[in-house]
Homo-oligomer: A and B are copies of this chain.
Amino acid sequence: MPYIKLDSKSFSHNLHTIVSQTNSTINNIAIVLKDNAYGHGLIEMATLANKYGITSCFVKSEVEAHSIKHLFKHITILYPNFDNATEDNMYISITSLETLKKTQNNKTIELKIDSGMHRNGISKDEIKEAIKIIKSKNLRLFGVFTHNGFADEIGSEFYGQFHYFTEIKKEIIKLCKDNQIQIPRFHSLASSGAFRGASLNSSLPQELQDSIFRIGIALYGYCTSEIYNIKLKPVASLWAKKISSKTLKKGSTIGYGGVSKLDRDLTISTYDIGYGDGLFRIKKDINLTTKEGFSIFQVASMDCISIESTLDEVCIFDDATTWTSAFSTIPYEILSHLHANIPKKIV
C-alpha cells in the first residue's frame, strides 16, 4: 500500500515559525484539523499538535471531534449536525439565526460572523437578536469569530474585513456586558491572515484583540501567498511501493491507449498508487517526476502508475506544490483529496 509520512520536525519548525512570525505564543495557535487534517490524518496530526502543546482545534463534524476528544481542551465543530451529541470540550459553530434558534439550551457555542465573504455567518444587524437568543437559551458563548478571506489578495479588502470585525467585537463586548454574559474569545485570522494581520491585531486594545489564530495550511507546511516570504516545511510526503518491474524494448507503449512510448530500451516499474487513492490523475501532457527525479509515465491508472524506476519505494511528492502547478490548483485540494485509508507514519 502507499503511505503518507508525517515529519514531526517539519511540524515543529512550522509551529515555531508561525509563533515567531505572529509574535505570539503556542497558546495563541489553534490548529485546523477539519477534513481529516487536510488529508494528513486527523488522529496523527491531532497527536502531533498535542505533543507540541496546542490546546485548541477546529474540526468539521461531531464524528471528527469525538475521535480526538482526549487530545484538546477546546474543540470547535465548524459544520455540526445538530442531532449528534457533544461533550464539555466541544463547541458548536453557529452560522445563522435559524440554527441558533434550533440549538438545544445550555450548549456551548461559537458564533460565526459574516464579515464580507458572504458564505456563512450572522450579519451585523442580527447580532442583537443573536445575543438575546443566547441569553434566553442559557447558551455558553465561548467564541465569536469570522473568516477573513482576502489575506492572499493584494488590496485593501483584507483591512476592510479586519476593521469591520473589530467593530463587531466592540458591539459584542457591550452586549455581553449589558446581559451579564462572559465575554467570548475572538478569532478571525487563518494562516495568511495571521501573517498579515498579527501586528495589526496586537495594536488593538487588549480586549479587542483576537486571542487565537486558526492555523491550517501553514502548520501543514504551505504558505499560499507570495505576499509573505515565510519558509515553511511540508509535513506530509506521499510514498508508493513497487508492484513489479518490467524490461521493455524501445518503441513499447505503456498504459491505457499506449500514450507513453519508450524512446529506448528501459526497465520500468509499477507502483501502488493511482487516482483511485484520491491522487490527481496524470493524464496526457502532465509531466511529473518523483522526488528522486524519476519520470512518471502518462497516463495513470486508477490503482497504479508506471515510473522509470526500480526502487522498492518512491516518494511521489514531499511538497504538493509540484502537483499544484501541474493541475492548476492549490495544495489544499491536492492534499485533502487523498483518501483517509492511506496509512500514515509519523517520523
Task: List chain A positions with a Cβ less than 8 A from chain B.
Answer: 1, 34-35, 38, 60-61, 63, 78-79, 81, 95-96, 98-99, 114, 116-120, 123, 149-150, 152-153, 157, 243-246, 248, 252-258, 268, 270, 272, 275-278, 280-281, 283, 301-304, 306, 328-330, 332-333, 336-337, 339-341
Beyond A255-B118, A302-B35, whether A243 also contacts B79 by CB under 8 A is yes
- Residue from A118, A275, A281 with most neighbouring chain B CB atoms (10 Å): A118
Oligomer: number of copies? 2
Contact B306 A254 (CB under 8 A): no
Beyond A79-B243, A244-B96, A303-B78, whether A153 also contacts B117 by CB under 8 A is no
Q: A interface, by DSSP: helix, strand, loop or mixed?
A: loop
Sample of 8 A–B contacts (CB below 8 Å)? A38-B276, A63-B341, A118-B252, A118-B253, A120-B270, A275-B332, A283-B329, A339-B340
Beyond A1-B61, A332-B302, A337-B278, whether A118 also contacts B257 by CB under 8 A is no
Contact B244 A120 (CB under 8 A): yes
Report the minimal beta-carbon distance from A305 to chain B, rounded to whole angstroms: 9
CB contacts (< 8 Å) of A341 on chain B: these are 63, 340
